Structure 1
Amino acid sequence: MKLHLLDRSTNNTAISVRINSYPNFLKIWHYHPELELVTILKSKGTRFIGDSIKKFQPKDVVLIGKNLPHMWLNDANYFEENSKLKAEAISVHFKENFLGDSFLDLPEMKSISQLFEKAKQGIYFKNVPKKLRQDIKALTTSSDFYKTHQFIDILHKLSNHKSYKLLASSGYINSLQKEDSTLSNQVIGYIFKNFNQEISLSSVAQIANMNTAAFSRSFKRVHRKTFSKYVNEIRIGYACKLLQENELNIATIGYESGFNNLSNFNRQFKKIKNISPSSYLKKHTNHTK
C-alpha cells in the first residue's frame, strides 16, 4: 500500500478549518507534517491510523499526530454508483508551534504539550460532550482571531478529557522513527538497531552494566512492561508496517521482524494485535484496493 504525502499547509493562518462533505472520504493512505483534529459528522467505515484498524461513526473525535499515516475508508455502500449517502467531517489542521516556538514551553500549556505527545500515536476521544463537538463545529464560522482563541480552549478541554484510547502501537511509532532517532539511551538504541535479530536479556544487561535480574526489574519499573514484551511490541509494530506495504509474504515478514519461526510470529502477533497476521493483511488489502 503506497503512502502519500499530502499538502495540508495552513497558509497564512495559525490553523486551517474546513468541513469535508463528499459522497465518500479520500481513499488514500497518507500523512502530513500537520496535526489533524477530526470530528465525524456523517457516515461510517473503517479508520486506519498507523497499525490500528477500527470502525468509525458519527460523533467520533480523533486527534492525529504529525506524519502519522492514516486513512478514513467508508463502507462499501458509499461507493455504489447510485448511492445518495454523504460523508461529512470537520478537519482542523495545525502545526505544533502554531502560536510560536515557545508556546508549548509555557507552564499553562503543559497539558496541551502532553496532548500533542500522546497524539503521536493518534488519540480517539470517547464520549465527547455535545457542547465540545458544537464548539469544534463553531470554528468553521469564526473569524481568524476568535477561531485561534477558541481552538486553544478546545485543545485544553481535550487534554483534560479522561476517556480516550491511544491508537497506533508504540512499536509501530518506534519503527517509523527508527532511522531518524537520536536516542541517547544506549539500551533503547541497541534494541532499535537489533530488534530484527536475536537479542538476549544478558547481552542488553551487559550494556547497562547490570546483572540480568537487576536489569529486568529496572526495565519493567521504567517502561511498565517486561523487556521481552517491549522487544516483541517493536517487532510486531515493524511487522504491521511491512504487512501494510504488502511486498513480502507473511513468513518472510516474520523473519524480517526478528522472529525465528512462523508459529512464534503468529502467536506473538495475535497476542499483541488480537488478530492473526493473515487476517490483518486481508483486512488491510480488502479495504485498500
Structure 2
Amino acid sequence: MRAYLEHLPVSDTASWSLRDRRLDDAIPFQWHHHPEYELTLTLNSRGQRFVGDHVGTYGHADLVLIGPNLPHTWASRAKLLADAPHVALVFWFRGAWIAGMTDGTVELRPVRDLLERAQAGLAFAPETGLALMADFQDMFGLPPLQRLHGLLSILMRLAGDATARPLSRAVPQVVQGGRSRLDRVLAHLHRHYAEPLRMAELAGIAALSVSGLHRMFVRHTQTSITRYVAGLRIGEACSRLSTTMQPIGLIAEAVGYPSLANFNRQFRALRGMTPRAYRRMFAPRDVVGDGLKTP
C-alpha cells in the first residue's frame, strides 16, 4: 500500500474545507498526504497516530495540526463509548491562502509562527482538545464568514498554547516529481518497520539504485532510512510501554530488535532514558469522561 495523494473537497462558498467524519467500526490505517494543512480533533477513539516518522498513541480529544505533504494516518484500536462512533472533526486549508492573510497582518503573526512549527506536525494536550471541542462542533452549523472567523480564532488560541509538541523528525520538502517513489518507500517502511531492513528491496520498490534511494530519501525527509526506521520502531515501543504491561524483551522483539541490549541503546539514544524509566512515567489512568458524550 502506498501513501496516496488525497484530493480534498472544494467549496464555491468557502476558502477552506471541513468534515465531520463518523465511523462506527474503526478508523482505518490509510497512509496519505495532501498539500493542505490539516487540523484534526479526534473524539471517542483511542489507538495509534502515525505522522511522518512519528508513531504514538492517541485518545479522546486528540488534537493535531499537520503541515503540507506530511504523510499521516490514524488507526483506532477501540472506542470509549461503544454505542457512539469514532469522530474526527477535520479542517483543511491551503498554505498560500493562509499565508496571504498572516504575512500582511501583524495581528496574525502568531498564526504564521504556528504554521511554521507545524511543518513536522504538532500535537496538543488533551485538555486543549477538550477546551476547543465545542468550538469545533459549532463550526459545522455556521455560515461561511463566521466559519472563517472561527477558524482564525481557533488558530490564534493554538498559537499561544504552550502544550504543543512536535511529532515528526522528518519534514517533507517540496517535491518536483518522484513523489510516488518516496510514497511507496514510506508506505512499505510503515507497514514493515519491525522486519529486517533490506536496502535492495527498498531500492526495488523505488525503482532506483541503493545509492539513488539514499539520496532521494535524505533529500526529501532530511534523515536517513536507518534513522527513520529507528524512529518508527521506538515510537511503537513507546506506545506499548505506556499502554500495556508487556515484558520489555517482548516489546523489543515485536518492534524489530531481537537483541534487548541493542533495543536499550537505541531507545536511550532517541528518548534519553531507558525503556523501564519511560514506562514508569505512565501511571494507570481512566481516560473516559472529561467532556465525552454521545455525539
Q: Pick the TM interval, shorter chain.
A: 0.5 to 0.7
Q: What are the superposed Cα offsets for residues 129-151 of structure 1, whole Å, 9 maximum, x if unpaired?
A: 64422112211111111010111
Do 1:121 and 1:166's aligned partners in 2 also have CA atoms closer than 8 Å?
A: yes
Counterpart-to-counterpart distance in 1, 2:43 and 2:150: 20
Counterpart-to-counterpart distance in 1, 2:85 and 2:156: 31
Change (3 A) 1:179 1:37: closer
Higher relative contact order (CA 8 A, sep 6+): 2
In the alignment, which residue of structure 2 is the partner of 1:190? none
In the alignment, which residue of structure 2 is the partner of 1:39? 41
Counterpart-to-counterpart distance in 2, 1:69 and 1:59: 21
| Residue 85 of structure 1, CA deviation | 6.0
Counterpart-to-counterpart distance in 1, 2:27 and 2:64: 15
Q: How does 1:250-269 map to 2 (within 5 A)?
A: 250=197, 252=199, 269=230
TM-score, normalising length from structure 1? 0.61
In the alignment, which residue of structure 2 is the partner of 1:15? 16
1:244 to 183, 190, 207: 190
Do 1:51 and 1:240's aligned partners in 2 also have CA atoms closer than 8 Å?
A: no
In the alignment, which residue of structure 2 is the partner of 1:223? none
Name the count of aligned residue pairs: 209
Q: How does 1:129-144 map to 2 (within 5 A)?
A: 130-144=130-144
Change (3 A) 1:129 1:67: closer
Do 2:47 and 2:76's aligned partners in 1 also have CA atoms closer than 8 Å?
A: yes
Q: How does 1:7-156 map to 2 (within 5 A)?
A: 7-12=7-12, 13-23=14-24, 24-75=26-77, 86-98=85-97, 101=100, 103-126=102-125, 127-128=127-128, 130-156=130-156
Counterpart-to-counterpart distance in 2, 1:131 and 1:85: 21
| Residue 105 of structure 1, CA deviation | 3.3
TM-score, normalising length from structure 2? 0.60
Aligned partner of residue 162 in structure 2, secondary structure = coil
Unaligned 5+ segments in structure 1 are 181-238, 259-264, 283-289
| Residue 8 of structure 1, CA deviation | 1.2
Counterpart-to-counterpart distance in 1, 2:112 and 2:166: 16
Counterpart-to-counterpart distance in 2, 1:45 and 1:57: 7
Aligned partner of residue 42 in structure 2, secondary structure = strand
Aligned partner of residue 115 in structure 1, secondary structure = helix
| Residue 21 of structure 1, CA deviation | 0.5
Unaligned 5+ segments in structure 2 are 177-184, 203-209, 216-225, 238-250, 258-295
Q: What are the superposed Cα offsets for residues 178-219 of structure 1, whole Å, 9 maximum, x if unpaired?
A: 765xxxxxxxxxxxxxxxxxxxxxxxxxxxxxxxxxxxxxxx
